Structure 1
Amino acid sequence: MKKKSFLLATVLLLALSMVLAACGGGNNEGDNAKGGDEGGEKPKFISIVTGGTGGTYYPLGGAFADIVKDATGIETNAETSGASAENMNTLKNGDAEIAFTQTDIASYAKDGKLMFDGNKVENVQAIGTLYPETIQIVTTKKSGIKSVADLKGKKVSVGAPGSGTNPNAEQILEMYDLTFDDIEKQDLSFDESVAGIQDGTIDAAFVTAGTPTGAVEGLSATEDVVIVPIDKDKADALIEKYPYYIHDEIPSGTYKLAEAVPTVAVQAMLVVSSDLDEGTVYDITKAIFENLDKVTHAKGKLINAEKAINGVGIEVHPGAQKYYDEKGIKAE
């Protein structure tokens, strides 16, 4: 009789243990790190991948990390990286949660095109755009180049191999019925391009970067810099075909320019792993856009929630979209 009672007690204890384990099963560290549904448990740690220490992404990322940590309580860290293309792959591999990239690079990654051929990135969505990365077609007065059409037959740098500048150049030339076969294409970095213009080994260069760009400013100290304009009708056609572009201009006074020059830009943007839950991304989006006064970097003045979904080029994360909907913000 005592033996039967003991066995019954043992079975009941085992059943109770299984029920308690099931109730607590969703509270392990792995689930917490990923986040849950809207209103679910927040992740303990978030990593933001940026760019090199000498660029703009890294200091902005540090400011955003501090803002997110203070506003949400989530331990957030900004990490250096190889910037846009590398960052998309980092999120794909699950090695970070948030990343800086360019709108065009994000589109190539989602579509599996160009440098992402055969390597489509499907688990990334947008938080929002930040500031323009202006396409600057740089030359000098002595080159005689005044229009994109004038580039035909010239030695033109289209950016370093694998860079985002290369497809920018190709797509803009396309709007003028030109291809790389119509120019003497040079694959040079920004610094190499400026040096080439200065010593006369190339005639012009495409540069995709926030303005003013240091390398071009250096050139303007010794040469009469000319920025080749992009005509409005060509810019409109470009934006219609490639929606990650926006209209932009380089202000007068930049590089000692006498007048503002119309051009186009892609944009720096923040993207997020689609694995992060809606509530967490909403909190992050709200924290960043409502604490921009804490960003001391000069680019912080260009960041505006009202423009954050213009030209994103990829799907906006539901958590970020919820914030924009609350504020009545719509894409233009």
Structure 2
Amino acid sequence: MRRIRQVALFIRTNFWIVPLALLLCWLLVRYLDPAPPRHLVMTTGSETGGYHQFGLSLQRELKTQGLDLELRTSRGSLDNLDRLTDGSGDVQLGLIQSGTEKLLPADQRQQLQGLAALYHEPLWLFQRKGNDIKSLADLSDKRVSVGSEGSGTWAVVRGLFEQQQDVARLESLNDGLWVQKGASASAAALLAGDLDAAFFVLPVNNRVIISLLADPGVVLVSAQQAHAFAARLRYVGELKVSQGLLSIPLNLPPRDLTLLAPVATLVANESFHPALAAQVLEATRKVLRDGNLLDPPGTFPAAKPMGLELSPEAEYYHRQGMPVLQRYLPFQLASMIDRYVVLVIPFLAIMFPLLRSMGPIYRWRVRARVYRWYEHLRRVDRLIYSGRIKGHYDEEVAKLRQLESELNHVDVPLSYAHELYSLHLHVRFMIYRLGLMQEEESD
């Protein structure tokens, strides 16, 4: 019975920790990152374009992992950038050509983070046969399409001329000799003889590129100083195209060429949940594992070339692969464990010192049951030292005997019994002392 009372006292003494722990749990859960959504929206490109075809493959792969990817077609990189940075959060992922992010104001670029480079989209420069174009300088007196305004082609060509320190020529479109046209219009004009040359940024399997490569009236130009440009423009790479790689029967290209190549880039905005980065990138790796004519298997997804800063989660994936838990557990379970580990660590950090305080608080509470009686003894002491005890001996002795009787019903753990018995001795001493003083006064 005594043991039960002691346990009850311990619980009553430290019960304040229970509501505090509940409040702490509520606060941590309230401000913990929400669970990753199972629905994402990605802006791609035209239905027949490479971006949308990649999106369809990624959609199928993510579906096997329980993640629903909604695709929204667009006119290309610029549309995708507008959607990603409009602040609505309706779209979380997008495909853009590396380099087009330079067309955004700095504050809008900061809303985006790179996840991965996906595949090369070479910068093709085709010329009419017989024009003998070998470098950018040879375009000065030629009729050239430099890509439609704001397009990915325009962004790369502009970057090249900036490195040439010849932006003025580009801004004036070479006094009207150069034109800004989209890919299909540029190809038609080139084949019709209305242009001497045209720039394109398109994947190798695009129908425009296939048609130009197959036409004997146009020739693909090898990029001069490709390594120098790639070293200065971090969103493009140097790409070697060996003889016959694009078509063995037609022997295209007829000789080894070097191309500059931006890449299709997977980017995310601030509404993308970072916990999904590894899952999306792993699905991307499976989609791209076979590569293509220009990208050997296993080349992509990659961290470079990249015009945007990688997100921390994407950087970890490219360096270490999948997070450890996601390698062995289903994504939802691994995500839940990650989130609650984040919850448990601060909870324990706060609760540990509080739990350690339970013992001292209990000891203080037990001793307080004894020490509070000393206030009666101190009151009597003050009466004695002030001289006001005279004439009140019997009254104070009676109070002390009543106190002594009450102490007989005070229950404390055995480890604190010596303090209770010390109090008994002190009460008896005070009664004895008052008795002596009363006798002395009577004499």
Task: Give the TM-score band, short-chain normalised.
Answer: 0.7 to 0.9
* Corresponding position: 1:88 with 2:84: no
Partner of 2:35: 41
* Corresponding position: 1:56 with 2:50: yes
TM-score (norm 1): 0.75
Contact 1:138 1:228 in 2 (8 A): yes
Q: Which range is displaced more, 82-91 or 283-292?
A: 283-292
Partner of 1:67: 61
Partner of 1:245: 236
Q: Pick from 272, 277, 284: which aligns with 1:276? A: 272
Change (3 A) 1:230 1:53: same
Contact 2:103 2:150 in 1 (8 A): no
Q: Which runs of 5+ in 2 are unaligned?
A: 1-18, 323-443
Contact 2:119 2:300 in 1 (8 A): no
Map 1:244-263 onto structure 2 (within 5 A).
244-253=235-244, 254=246, 256-263=252-259
Change (3 A) 1:306 1:206: closer
Give how far 1:252 is off: 2.6
Task: Provide the secondary structure at the position in 2 that maps to 1:143.
Answer: coil
Map 1:9-28 onto structure 2 (within 5 A).
23=26
Map 1:93-104 onto structure 2 (within 5 A).
93=87, 94-104=89-99
Higher strand share: 1
How many residues are treated as equivalent by the alignment?
289
Q: Which range is displaced more, 129-138 or 80-89?
A: 80-89
Change (3 A) 1:276 1:218: closer
Equivalent-residue separation in structure 2 for 1:161 and 1:66 (angstroms):
34
Contact 2:103 2:155 in 1 (8 A): no
Q: Pick from 131, 142, 156: which aligns with 1:143? A: 131
Q: Identity percentage over the alignment?
A: 23
Q: Which runs of 5+ in 1 are unaligned?
A: 1-15, 114-118
Change (3 A) 1:135 1:169: same
Change (3 A) 1:60 1:186: same
Change (3 A) 1:272 1:305: farther
Contact 2:37 2:273 in 1 (8 A): no
Q: Pick from 196, 202, 208: which aligns with 2:195? A: 202
Change (3 A) 1:189 1:227: same
Q: Cα RMSD (Å) of the superposition?
A: 3.2
Equivalent-residue separation in structure 2 for 1:300 and 1:211 (angstroms):
8
Equivalent-residue separation in structure 1 for 2:110 and 2:211 (angstroms):
40
Give how far 1:303 is off: 6.8
Contact 2:99 2:155 in 1 (8 A): no
Q: Which range is displaced more, 166-175 or 42-51?
A: 166-175
Give how far 1:299 is off: 8.2
Equivalent-residue separation in structure 2 for 1:298 and 1:147 (angstroms):
28
Give how far 1:245 is off: 1.0
Q: Which range is displaced more, 135-144 or 201-210?
A: 135-144
Task: Provide the secondary structure at the position in 2 that maps to 1:226.
Answer: strand
Equivalent-residue separation in structure 1 for 2:294 and 2:27 (angstroms):
43
Partner of 2:309: 315
Equivalent-residue separation in structure 2 for 1:265 and 1:67 (angstroms):
27
Equivalent-residue separation in structure 1 for 2:299 and 2:221 (angstroms):
30
Give how far 1:100 is off: 0.9
Task: Provide the secondary structure at the position in 2 that maps to 1:248.
Answer: strand
Residue 60 of structure 2 aligns to which amino acid in structure 1?
D
TM-score (norm 2): 0.58
Q: Which range is displaced more, 247-256 or 145-154?
A: 247-256
Task: Provide the secondary structure at the position in 2 that maps to 1:85.
Answer: helix
Equivalent-residue separation in structure 2 for 1:146 and 1:152 (angstroms):
12
Task: Provide the secondary structure at the position in 1 that maps to 2:204.
Answer: coil
* Corresponding position: 1:156 with 2:144: yes
Equivalent-residue separation in structure 2 for 1:76 and 1:144 (angstroms):
47
* Corresponding position: 1:134 with 2:122: yes
Change (3 A) 1:270 1:62: same
